[in-house]
Amino acid sequence: MHGGAGTILKKNMTPEKEVAYRETMTKALQTGYDALKSGKSSLDAVEVAIHVLEDSPLFNAGKGAVFTHEGKNELDAAIMDGKSLKAGAIAGVTVIRNPISAARAVMEKSEHVMMAGKGAENFAKQAGLTLVDPSYFYTEERWKGLQQALKQDSMKTVLDHDKKAQRLGTLNPDFKFSTVGAVALDKAGNLAAGTSTGGMTNKRFNRIGDAPIIGAGTYANNATAGISGTGWGEFYIRTVLAHDLSAMMEYQNLSVQEASKRVIAKMGKLGGDGGLIALDKNGQVAMEFNTAGMYRGTVTEDGKITVDIYK
Amino acid sequence: MHGGAGTILKKNMTPEKEVAYRETMTKALQTGYDALKSGKSSLDAVEVAIHVLEDSPLFNAGKGAVFTHEGKNELDAAIMDGKSLKAGAIAGVTVIRNPISAARAVMEKSEHVMMAGKGAENFAKQAGLTLVDPSYFYTEERWKGLQQALKQDSMKTVLDHDKKAQRLGTLNPDFKFSTVGAVALDKAGNLAAGTSTGGMTNKRFNRIGDAPIIGAGTYANNATAGISGTGWGEFYIRTVLAHDLSAMMEYQNLSVQEASKRVIAKMGKLGGDGGLIALDKNGQVAMEFNTAGMYRGTVTEDGKITVDIYK
């Protein structure tokens, strides 16, 4: 799992906060592990593990999502099943408590792959998902983040992990969080991947990032890997990053680690930054990033949990 | 260029209509050719050629777009520059006369790749694009198509090129049109690709199809090809079709024709249908489809225009 890549530096982190991050990542990994152990599918594990991060105010997804320019929380998510290559995604929703579950409902209960805005919300309502008042997503820290972003640059959208923004020197140290994601492999050998995000602080124009774009921020294929990205979304879309990783494995026989390195390098060369997690059909894990840190963790078949933050 | 793939059968076509399609495709190709001849870029050629199809009521893009379940016209488009790998896309817009130009504005005048709905419209307004009243997109034929679709199935979204829908046997013969698209190669050796669509008749829930998804329905890369798809969008998204074609060329050294055949076969195997156009850096053209027909045409360096409709 990942909880976002960015300029996460030890010197900006309080010990209490670091503990909170580690504990929440651990809880999410344990939740996914328990689902798999009880015989549930990789899709189930991805979904319930992401719920833990979506329900936490620490991560930029669900509760804890950053604010748009207009002071709203607009959420994106996607999920993909590596066995059937079925996928579901939602973009720009404001009242769905757990966007990852809405993405799964799109995959399983509609003929579509992607829905946006009000339409996606109407669908989620019909599908019986938990809806909340938009105020549910308010957190003081994110609100302050928006105010700083607005003050800093009233014209230009600021990426919460943007190096240019960093250069401006006034960014809230908590801007760096991004997207959360999970990939899992179950007993039946099926891979799944999911990603959920609040996008960029101060985003405008109903911008859609890479998280809900199948092939960009989210992709799963039993023949190759399950992949979830976190970073400067525009570059993930332009490099079709998650699918490119899969294609390198499929067509060049690269390992998941080598393919991960190459796609992060390609994306970085264009000027982007961020990270990814990938898990192949043999349980090989890659966690690559070109930022200072990435909240990340793994749980192995025997239940061993590892969580890391810095490079 | 393509003007949509689907169950286009000679027996359902009047001679007058066939002439109108051929003439409009020819005009679009000539417009793109003239742009290239006058020294303009492949991006310019793609944009102005697509304008001709968007402005015609014959094609499901711009004027002529199909209606959603709610009786609206919601337009999607994307454009990509093979040299820089920059891209722009808009989804679910209702007041932008030429969606392909809005996609280009997103690429060139914003830091984003994709915008949706009202936000995209606000951006287009600020970027100085021509806005129209939503009634501009009304055509009697598409309205009748929606009424038939609603009558036929009030619960289930009908794809305008859906085989299942065909089996129901009541589809308007004009349902088959889909997306329009163009790919071009200019003197400087730069490839570009663009796609524009009204989506599916009777679509619901602000469904987003493949056309505005970079890597699914639209992709360009000078190292491989410019690609535009037209078909059952959900399958194009799930197979990341346009990028998969490019990856086969890049990583397996396949020709554009062979890669095109393979991605259409993969998509068909999952249950989808449709077609694509692809043009590589050497000017090699592929026009593959697994439907009865696809409006399609080419113009060569010396100005020779060819237009075809049936298999």
Amino acid at A262: R
**pLDDT value at position A200?**
85
Residues of B in contact with A247 (CB under 8 A): 243-244, 247-248, 251
More confidently predicted of B172 and A286: A286
Nearest 5 degrees, angle CA B102-CA B108-CA B111? Answer: 100
Q: Per-residue confidence at B177, pLDDT binned at 50, 70, 90?
A: low
**pLDDT value at position B122?**
96
Residues of B in contact with A122 (CB under 8 A): 205
Q: Pull the structure tokens for residue B184.
A: 């071009």
Amino acid at B89: A
Q: How many CB atoms lie within 10 A of CB A242?
A: 33
Q: How many CB atoms lie within 10 A of CB A252?
A: 14
Specify the pairing of strand A285-289 against strand A274-280: antiparallel
Do B98 and B51 form a contact (C-beta atoms < 8 A)?
A: yes
**pLDDT value at position B199?**
85
Has residue A175 got a pLDDT over 70?
no
Residues of A in contact with B112 (CB under 8 A): 157, 205, 207, 234
Residues B284 and A136: their CA atoms lie apart, in Å, by 54
Q: Pull the structure tokens for residue A268.
A: 């970085």
* Mean pLDDT calculated for residue range A41-51: 98
Could you tell me where the DSSP H helices lie in B156-225? Answer: 163-168
Q: Above pLDDT 70, what percent of chain A?
A: 92
The answer to whether the Cβ–Cβ distance between A111 and B156 falls below 8 Å is yes
**pLDDT value at position B171?**
40
Q: Which residue has the tokens 């690709």?
A: B193
Residues A193 and A42: their CA atoms lie apart, in Å, by 8
Q: Per-residue confidence at B176, pLDDT binned at 50, 70, 90?
A: very low
Closest Cβ opposite residue A206 in set B85, B116, B252: B116
Local structure of residue A11 (DSSP, 8 states):
G
Q: Any catalytic annotation for residue B26? A: no
Complex ipTM more than 0.90, yes or no: yes
The answer to whether the Cβ–Cβ distance between B156 and A87 falls below 8 Å is no
Q: In terms of Cα–Cα distance, which of A179, A286, A222, A181 is closest to A86? A: A222
User: A214-251, pLDDT tens digit by residue?
Assistant: 999 999 999 999 999 999 999 999 999 999 999 999 99
What Å distances lie between residue B13 and B51, B173, B197, CA to CA?
24, 9, 22
Local structure of residue A165 (DSSP, 8 states):
H
DSSP per residue, B44-73: HHHHHHHHHHHTSTTSSSSTTPPPPTTS--
Amino acid at B56: S
Has residue A166 got a pLDDT over 60?
no
Lowest mean pLDDT among A4-13, B178-187, B207-216: A4-13
The answer to whether the Cβ–Cβ distance between B237 and A110 falls below 8 Å is no
**pLDDT value at position A170?**
33
Mutate to test the interface with A, among B157, B159, B238, B250 (most CBs of A within 10 A): B238
Residues B82 and B193: their CA atoms lie apart, in Å, by 8
Lowest mean pLDDT among A149-163, B68-82, B228-242: A149-163
- Residue A205, judged by CB atoms within 10 A of its CB (0-12, 13-18, 19+), counts as buried
**pLDDT value at position A151?**
84
Q: In terms of Cα–Cα distance, which of A299, A110, A6 is closest to B206? A: A110
Has residue A45 got a pLDDT over 90?
yes
Q: Which helix (H) or strand (E) holds A181?
A: strand A180-185
Has residue B170 got a pLDDT over 50?
no
**pLDDT value at position A152?**
76
Q: Pull the structure tokens for residue A92.
A: 């720009």
Catalytic residue among A179, A201, A218, A291: A179
| Sign of the CA dihedral running A170, A146, B129, B43 | positive
Alpha-carbon Rg for chain A, nearest whole angstrom, is: 17
Q: Which residue has the tokens 């989620």?
A: A124
Amino acid at B116: A
What chain A residue is nearest to B120 in terms of C-alpha separation?
A205
Residues of B in contact with A244 (CB under 8 A): 243, 247
More confidently predicted of B50 and A151: B50
Q: Per-residue confidence at B153, pLDDT binned at 50, 70, 90?
A: low
Q: Which residue has the tokens 């890479």?
A: A210
